[in-house]
Amino acid sequence: MINFLYRNIGRFIVLVLIQVLILDNIQFSGYVNPFMYVLFILLLPFETPNWLIILLGFVLGLTIDLFSNTIGMHAFATVFMAFLRPHVLKIIKPHDGYEPGTFPRIYYFGLTWFLRYSIILVFSHHLFLFYIEIFRFTDFFSTLIRVILSVLFSMVIIVLSQYFIFRK
């Protein structure tokens, strides 16, 4: 249990640092903004209580907000993503269910399952984040393009991390 706690605290710190120090400085024409920090919520164990996922989502989003000076936008989007996570897991549950001790990773459930799971959650996060940021519908389509491109770029980073960093 203590090892698990330290591993997740370490993952939290590393993902926030990668986001703040590296990925926040990457923008292609203002349309692609990769967000790898959402991987923390994606990789939480299945047994994590829903209230704790939402609380961790708030703390994670607020931490990113503090570094990005975005006044709660990341917190709101990450809490929304954390709220949706149990529902998405229920919808895409394999026929034999989730085995205790497994995690939502490519290693356990394969690429197709992981892509369905993460694309839904990452898209919902990005959709809320970018529309809160712009806070108007006059730029609806340009913001939607920005969401889609950022989801694609974020998903490439997330999937690559599954093969190189978070293998098991």
| CB 64, CB 81: distance < 8 Å | no
Closest CA to 12 of 32, 34, 33, 42: 42
Q: What is the mean pLDDT of residues 124-145?
A: 91
Percent of the chain that is helix, strand, coil (3-state, to 5): 70, 0, 30
Cα 110 to Cα 101: distance, rounded to the nearest angstrom: 16
Please report the pLDDT score of residue 1 as a whole number: 61
**Can you give the residue ranges of every domain in the chain?**
2-164
Q: How confident is the model at residue 167 (pLDDT cuts 50, 70, 90)?
A: low
Q: How confident is the model at residue 10 (pLDDT cuts 50, 70, 90)?
A: very high
Here the tokens at position 99 are 């085995």
Closest CA to 16 of 48, 73, 84, 62: 62
Res. 27: pLDDT tops 80: no
| CB 80, CB 125: distance < 8 Å | yes
Cα 125 to Cα 168: distance, rounded to the nearest angstrom: 25
Q: Is 32 helix (H, G, I), strand (E, B) or coil?
A: strand
Q: Is 110 exposed, middle or buried (0-12, 13-18, 19+ CB in 10 A)?
A: exposed
Q: How confident is the model at residue 41 (pLDDT cuts 50, 70, 90)?
A: very high
